[in-house]
């Protein structure tokens, strides 16, 4: 029917235009991803307050007030610790770079000695210059990063507030445009996607939080420097599947090697990261994460590579939920449209 | 301004009609005005043209429909029709204002529709689906419990009726068998 075709085209046009705007406008994608994270974290609590008899508007506002107060308190408490550790790291970084260069130089000399002038390797000087330039780019880029981060931290809670308040109405308005012959499928799909994303985001954040806390506690216990900074880094990189935990351990291990830590200290350091991963693999993943995203490990690796190629670190983090959402959309279309015609 | 006023009056009338239909329905009959308003923000009002399919037999069903205005034909595929690609449908019933259908899908997991529903004339339906029922249960379990209790009652009545029909059919079959044996 003509009417249905016009409706379908309108819905597709709205979706394509929205995606285009999200990808084109600076910081919008990251702000929306964060907004969804906030939405899915707070949504069960808003529903809980509604069950207690408060209206949705009051539930959302009260919860937002409480969360903002809590977050401000957390930032006020955590920011000086992280900031001091970043400053200390900034001051000590040249020493570490010299250390890495010396390590590479000594290895290079030994290899050249072994090769006995057949082939001469000379990378230490180049590497030293490169590392100094990376370090200066990293720290000079920090204010710009902070500025972007600030705009995202303002936009994301703003979006999330209206998602919590009017999100259901907005999705109902979009559903109203869907043609009758696709309506049930679209409604069911939207519900399933919401459920899956909600479970996934809550599970991954819980996982990152537990890993971060275990690393922080462990590093503090063995009296390792920059414990809070490395724990934060481990928690964030843990969001990247498979390679994340390894990346998370690299800076602390590198620091220990450069400081010439004893093998016993190095063992305890590796033990801390090992225990964090053990807790993650044995308890959190089987109990919380595994049942949510039903993707084959090979598919997971492929989508992470694609995500990294397209959007870097953010792409690696969001690749799994995007892939599982795509799988759900395709299987839903298959079940509703193709399978029943057989 | 005048057209906006008319539009507003028209919308209010249409909302009243939808509220009236919901308040007469077995599932929502016990709800107060405030509770009905809550449900009205969750359900979906859809318009269908004559001959337009509401759903097809074999499709995954997600929920039920209540007729606000118009009429809906319920059809099932004729299994005895020749396999030449052109399937024939048997007309089972014509439902009209305030009737409802498809309620089994509210509790089935990926259950398929066992009949097709086609709009007989210009028809307005209220769609009430599984995600909507979940939302009510999550946000206001008090209303959810009332609706689920009524839903269980409706399904129980349907089950009793089906059992009675089966018993009658068995009797008919027995009679026919006895007749056959006598002949």
pLDDT digits (tens, 9 = 90+) for A22-40: 888 877 888 888 898 889 8
Q: Which of A5-9, A244-248, B19-23 has the highest mean pLDDT?
A: B19-23
> What tokens were used for A336?
């509703």
Mutate to test the interface with B, among A165, A180, A334 (most CBs of B within 10 A): A180
What's the rounded Cα separation, in Å, for the pair B63 and B131?
9
What's the rounded Cα separation, in Å, for the pair A226 and A86?
8
What's the rounded Cα separation, in Å, for the pair B60 and A185?
8
Contacts of A190 in chain B (CB under 8 A): 131
Residue A247 clears pLDDT 90, i.e. is over it:
no
Pair type for strands B123-129 and B89-95 = unpaired
Residue A59 clears pLDDT 60, i.e. is over it:
yes
pLDDT tens, residue by residue, A275-324 = 888 887 777 766 666 666 667 777 777 888 888 888 877 788 788 888 88
Strand, coil or helix: what is A165? Answer: helix
Cβ of A187 within 8 Å of Cβ of B44? The answer is yes
**ipTM over 0.90 threshold:** no
Residue A120, judged by CB atoms within 10 A of its CB (0-12, 13-18, 19+), counts as exposed
Please name every residue paired with B75 in a beta bridge, in sequence order, or none if there are none: B91, B116
Mutate to test the interface with A, among B18, B39, B60 (most CBs of A within 10 A): B60
Cβ of B52 within 8 Å of Cβ of A1? The answer is yes
The H or E element containing residue B47 is strand B44-48
> What tokens were used for B5?
């006023």
**Phi–psi pair at A123, nearest 5 degrees:** -120, -15
Q: Which of A128-142, A150-164, A166-180, B44-58 has the lowest average pLDDT?
A: A128-142
Q: Note which residues in 142-171 of chain B have CB less than 8 A from chain A.
A: none
From B77's Cα to the closest Cα of chain A, the distance in A is 13
pLDDT bin (cut points 50, 70, 90) of residue A140 is: low
**Phi–psi pair at A266, nearest 5 degrees:** -65, -40
Mutate to test the interface with A, among B11, B35, B43, B62 (most CBs of A within 10 A): B62
Q: Pick B138's closest partner by Cβ from A1, A47, A172.
A: A47
Spatial contact of A222 and A230, defined as CB atoms under 8 Å apart: no
Residue A70 clears pLDDT 80, i.e. is over it:
yes
- Which chain B residue shows the shortest CA-CA distance from A53? B140
What's the rounded Cα separation, in Å, for the pair B55 and B35?
29
Cβ partners under 8 Å of residue A210, min gap 6:
A279, A280, A284
pLDDT bin (cut points 50, 70, 90) of residue A142 is: low
Residue (of A300, A19, A1, A331) closest to A180 by Cα position: A1
Contacts of A175 in chain B (CB under 8 A): 44
Residue A188 clears pLDDT 80, i.e. is over it:
yes
Cβ of B44 within 8 Å of Cβ of A3? The answer is no
CB pairs under 8 A between A and B: 58
Contacts of A170 in chain B (CB under 8 A): none
Taking residues A77-93, report their average pLDDT. Answer: 78
Residue B142 clears pLDDT 60, i.e. is over it:
yes
Q: Pick B60's closest partner by Cβ from A176, A190, A336.
A: A336
Between these two residues, B122 and A316, which has the higher pLDDT value?
B122
Spatial contact of A180 and A10, defined as CB atoms under 8 Å apart: no
Residue A52, judged by CB atoms within 10 A of its CB (0-12, 13-18, 19+), counts as exposed
Q: Which of B2-11, B30-39, B72-81 has the lowest average pLDDT?
A: B2-11
Between these two residues, B31 and A2, which has the higher pLDDT value?
B31
Taking residues A90-99, report their average pLDDT. Answer: 76
Q: Pick B140's closest partner by Cβ from A51, A188, A335.
A: A51
Provide the mean pLDDT of chain A.
81
pLDDT of residue B149: 94
Contacts of B130 in chain A (CB under 8 A): 188, 191
Strand, coil or helix: what is B77? Answer: strand
pLDDT bin (cut points 50, 70, 90) of residue A167 is: confident
pLDDT of residue A138: 66
pLDDT over 70, % of chain B: 88
Taking residues B119-143, report their average pLDDT. Answer: 93
Spatial contact of B70 and B58, defined as CB atoms under 8 Å apart: no
From A30's Cα to the closest Cα of chain B, the distance in A is 28
What's the rounded Cα separation, in Å, for the pair A334 and A260?
59
Q: Pick A187's closest partner by Cβ from B54, B55, B62.
A: B62
Residue B131 clears pLDDT 70, i.e. is over it:
yes
Q: Which of A157-161, A237-241, B99-103, B117-121 has the lowest average pLDDT?
A: A237-241
pLDDT tens, residue by residue, A254-281 = 888 877 778 888 888 899 998 888 887 7
Cβ of B135 within 8 Å of Cβ of A340? The answer is no
What's the rounded Cα separation, in Å, for the pair B139 and B154?
23
What's the rounded Cα separation, in Å, for the pair B90 and B78?
6
pLDDT of residue B97: 92
H helices, E strands: number in chain B: 4, 8
Cα→Cα distances A277→A214, A222, A294, B172, Å: 9, 17, 21, 69
Residue (of B41, B38, B96, B59) closest to A180 by Cα position: B59
Cα→Cα distances A153→A201, A205, B181, Å: 18, 17, 84
* Largest CA-CA distance found in chain B, in angstroms, rounded: 81
Cβ partners under 8 Å of residue A11, min gap 6:
A174, A177, A178, A179
pLDDT of residue B1: 47
Say how many Å lie between the first and final Cα of chain A, rounded: 23
> What tokens were used for A283?
């308890």
Spatial contact of B116 and B55, defined as CB atoms under 8 Å apart: yes
DSSP B104: G
Residues of A with CB under 8 A from a CB of B: 1, 3, 47, 50-51, 56, 168-169, 172, 175-176, 180-181, 183-185, 187-188, 190-191, 335-336, 340-341
pLDDT tens, residue by residue, B22-48 = 999 999 998 999 999 999 989 999 999
- Which chain B residue shows the shortest CA-CA distance from A332? B60
From B56's Cα to the closest Cα of chain A, the distance in A is 9
What's the rounded Cα separation, in Å, for the pair A234 and A277?
10
Geometric angle at alpha carbon B73, from B70 and B74, rounded to 5°: 140
Tell me whether B50 touches chain A (CB under 8 Å): no
- Which chain A residue shows the shortest CA-CA distance from B87? A341
H helices, E strands: number in chain A: 9, 0
DSSP A338: I
DSSP A336: I
């Amino acid at each position: 029917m003509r009417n249905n075709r016009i409706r379908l085209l309108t819905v597709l046009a709205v979706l394509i235009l929205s995606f285009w705007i999200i990808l084109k406008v600076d910081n919008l994608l990251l702000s929306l991803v964060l907004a969804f994270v906030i939405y899915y974290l707070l949504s069960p609590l808003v529903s809980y307050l509604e069950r207690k008899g408060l209206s949705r508007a009051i539930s959302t506002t009260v919860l937002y007030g409480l969360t903002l107060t809590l977050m401000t308190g957390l930032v006020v408490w955590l920011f000086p610790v992280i900031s001091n550790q970043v400053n200390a790291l900034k001051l000590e970084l040249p020493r570490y770079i010299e250390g890495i260069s010396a390590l590479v130089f000594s290895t290079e000399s030994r290899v050249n000695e072994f090769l006995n002038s057949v082939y001469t390797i000379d990378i230490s000087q180049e590497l030293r210059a490169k590392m100094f330039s990376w370090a200066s780019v990293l720290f000079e880029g920090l204010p710009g990063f902070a500025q972007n981060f600030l705009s995202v931290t303002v936009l994301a809670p703003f979006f999330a507030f209206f998602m919590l308040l009017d999100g259901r109405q907005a999705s109902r308005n979009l559903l109203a445009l869907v043609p009758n012959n696709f309506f049930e499928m679209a409604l069911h799909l939207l519900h399933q996607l919401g459920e899956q994303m909600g479970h996934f985001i809550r599970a991954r954040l819980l996982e990152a939080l537990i890993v971060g806390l275990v690393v922080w506690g462990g590093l503090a216990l063995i009296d390792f420097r920059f414990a809070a900074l490395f724990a934060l880094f481990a928690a964030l990189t843990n969001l990247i599947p498979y390679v994340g935990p390894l990346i998370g351990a690299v800076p602390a291990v590198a620091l220990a090697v450069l400081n010439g830590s004893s093998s016993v200290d190095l063992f305890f350091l590796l033990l801390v990261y090992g225990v964090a991963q053990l807790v993650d693999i044995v308890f959190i993943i089987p109990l919380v994460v595994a049942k949510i995203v039903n993707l084959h490990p090979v598919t997971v690796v492929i989508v992470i590579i694609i995500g990294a190629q397209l959007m870097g670190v953010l792409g690696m983090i969001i690749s799994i939920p995007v892939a599982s959402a795509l799988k759900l959309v395709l299987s839903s279309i298959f079940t509703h449209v193709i399978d029943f015609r057989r | 301004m005048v057209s906006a006023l008319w539009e507003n009056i028209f919308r209010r009338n249409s909302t009243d009609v939808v509220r009236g239909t919901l308040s007469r329905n077995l599932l929502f009959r016990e709800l107060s005005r405030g509770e009905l308003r809550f449900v009205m923000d969750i359900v979906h009002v859809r318009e269908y043209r004559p001959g337009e399919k509401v759903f097809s037999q074999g499709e995954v069903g997600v929920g039920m429909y209540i007729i606000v205005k118009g009429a809906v034909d319920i059809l099932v595929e004729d299994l005895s029709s020749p396999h030449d690609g052109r399937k024939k449908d048997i007309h089972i019933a014509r439902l009209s204002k305030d009737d409802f259908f498809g309620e089994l899908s509210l509790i089935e997991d990926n259950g398929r529709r066992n009949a097709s529903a086609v709009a007989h004339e210009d028809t307005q339906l209220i769609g009430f689906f599984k995600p909507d029922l979940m939302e009510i249960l999550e946000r206001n379990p008090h209303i959810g419990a009332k609706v689920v209790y009524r839903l269980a009652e409706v399904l129980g009545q349907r089950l009793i009726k089906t059992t009675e029909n089966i018993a009658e059919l068995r009797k008919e079959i027995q009679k026919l068998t006895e007749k056959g044996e006598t002949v």
